[in-house]
Structure 1
Amino acid sequence: MNKKILCIPAAAWGAMAVTALLLYLFPQIDIAVSSLFYTPGEGFEQGGTIWERFVYQSVGVVLVAIYIAALLLWLFNRIRGRNLLAFNGKKLLYILLVGALGSGIFVNLVLKQNWGRPRPDQTTLFGSDRHFTPAFVMSDQRGKSFSSGHTSGAFALLALIFLARRHRGSVAFAVISYGAVVSLARIAAGGHFFSDVMVSIMIMYIVSGVLYARLFGCNGASDAEG
């Protein structure tokens, strides 16, 4: 059985629920993962390195490039009366909405601006002065660790996997690999805890699935092909 709820397999919903519960019950996971990248007296040494800065800066560039390419493809099809990659206005809207609602509004505007969780490199555990706050627990310390904006931006590209019919495996590999590298860079730099990036990934997956179900339906074959 491959039962889906809002275009997301039931097993995936279960896995996300278990993951969230484990991250809530065992905050030691966050501490242990961040400790792998922290050196007492030196801090998070990967922060500010060439590779970390490159990955950090790449997210905005990649998103803008994808959105411009999608817009140009839609305009080309409209103007020339073509159906290249079966890309239409509904698909363009879907790609833009996933990024705007999931990453832009829910993660960056609602969570990051209001949750207050300090970043790893701001806590007493890693050489600073703020108290560690477990995942899903609001704080009054004005931190912006929960959840990861860059991870949510990278995983806004999950929309491409939902839309893909041909070469879906290759698209999935590219998107997930890129998102994983971005998430690793944020953890290694002390900018986010493991739970911060995992929550952003789950949010973007849910937003992608819900919007896809709304715009295309989980069996919306002809509309979604391309």
Structure 2
Amino acid sequence: MLTSKWYLAPNTVLVISDNLRYNQTNFQIETRMPNIKRQAIIVFSLLVVVSAIFFLYPSLDLKTAHLFFSQHQFEAGRDIGANFIRAPIFRLSTHVVSALTIIVSAGALLVAIIAFKKRNKTVLISAVFIMLCFGLGPGLLVNGILKAFWGRPRPFYVDGFGYHLMYVRVWEISNECMRNCSFVAGDSSAALTFIAFAFLPWARRWKILVAVLASLFFIYNGILRVIHGAHFLSDVMIGGLLVYLVILGCYQFSFGFLARKITFNPRSA
């Protein structure tokens, strides 16, 4: 079990949970890391299984999309009396996710700069962790690589849903879509990235609540994108699993590697 040691200034107030041990003599706090390897194996296995199912049975994506398609267009919730929430809520959700992602990323950068100047190792590593999660997950992997180069057209551009482009299975690289493509879902992936806050040391007592809220945020955004024809179900599921793997990797790097490499001497309060 890896252990990260953070040296803090005297008189520093800390909230200690079951996973933390505090040594009052040398002001040392030791944080036991969760079993990242086990989680990574489970999530990666789910990713392989989900990818294989949708690759071998593409009709699952198409049938799911057809549930919300009628009269030559995707009309979210028309048959259940929820037509009033269609486009406005969809656009609002996209703006909210984008705004929150920018605010959190910029805020984490500012906190990291302040923590570095104040030589606060705990806060610095936590801020770097959050920045890495959003930068490498929804930023680089999802939008910078997959959505930019995999070329999977969105459902409302596919033949059978009012347009003429060919359906492309998961993980297939195609020229059907040239930019901002369907694989994988960007907004729902960014929404799930907020679960990274549940990994922070001082968030232990709020871990379940944060994880539940982030998961609901992910599910809500994922459902919106599927019922509006912006993404296939596989885009949402695979995107979420990929982002969670990135979070696990960022946690291992930040609270493992960085925690060992960054050495701030104690400073008087």
With the shorter chain as reference, the TM-score category is 0.7 to 0.9
In the alignment, which residue of structure 1 is the partner of 2:138?
A: 103
Unmatched segments (≥5 aa) in structure 1: none
Q: Aligned partners of 1:82, 1:113: CA distance in 2, in Å?
A: 39
Q: 1:67 deviation in Å? A: 3.0
Please, what TM-score do these two structures have when normalized by structure 1?
Answer: 0.83
| 1:181-226 C-alpha deviation (Å, 9 max, x unpaired) | 11111111111111111121011011000111122139x8xx9xxx
Letter in 2 for 1:114: F
- Whether 2:242 is the aligned partner of 1:192: answer no
Letter in 2 for 1:192: H
- Whether 2:248 is the aligned partner of 1:209: answer yes
In the alignment, which residue of structure 2 is the partner of 1:146?
A: 183
Q: Aligned partners of 1:102, 1:76: CA distance in 2, in Å?
A: 24
Query: Which of 13, 28, 40 pairs up with 2:71?
Result: 40
Q: Aligned partners of 1:26, 1:108: CA distance in 2, in Å?
A: 26
Q: 1:138 deviation in Å? A: 1.6
Q: 1:172 deviation in Å? A: 0.4
In the alignment, which residue of structure 2 is the partner of 1:67?
A: 105
Q: Aligned partners of 2:247, 2:119: CA distance in 1, in Å?
A: 27
Q: 1:174 deviation in Å? A: 0.8
In the alignment, which residue of structure 2 is the partner of 1:90?
A: 125
Query: Which of 17, 42, 50 pairs up with 1:19?
Result: 50
Unmatched segments (≥5 aa) in structure 2: 1-33, 77-84, 263-269
Q: 1:68 deviation in Å? A: 4.3
The structure with the greater share of residues assigned to helix is 1
Fraction of identical pairs, as percent: 28
What's the secondary structure of 1:174's corresponding residue?
Answer: helix
Change (3 A) 1:54 1:126: same
Contact residue 7 and residue 209 of structure 1 kept, 8 A: no
Contact residue 108 and residue 127 of structure 2 kept, 8 A: yes
Letter in 2 for 1:28: S
Change (3 A) 1:139 1:34: same
Letter in 1 for 2:195: L
Contact residue 7 and residue 210 of structure 1 kept, 8 A: no
Please, what TM-score do these two structures have when normalized by structure 2?
Answer: 0.71
- Whether 2:190 is the aligned partner of 1:156: answer no
Letter in 2 for 1:170: L
- Residues matched between the structures, number: 214
Q: 1:13 deviation in Å? A: 3.0
Q: Aligned partners of 2:256, 2:110: CA distance in 1, in Å?
A: 25
In the alignment, which residue of structure 2 is the partner of 1:132?
A: 167
Q: Aligned partners of 2:159, 2:207: CA distance in 1, in Å?
A: 44
Which shows bigger deviation, 152-161 or 177-186?
A: 152-161
Q: Aligned partners of 1:94, 1:77: CA distance in 2, in Å?
A: 13
Which shows bigger deviation, 16-25 or 196-205?
A: 16-25
Q: Indicate the RMSD between aligned Cα atoms, in angstroms.
A: 2.7
- Whether 2:217 is the aligned partner of 1:178: answer yes
Q: 1:70 deviation in Å? A: 3.8
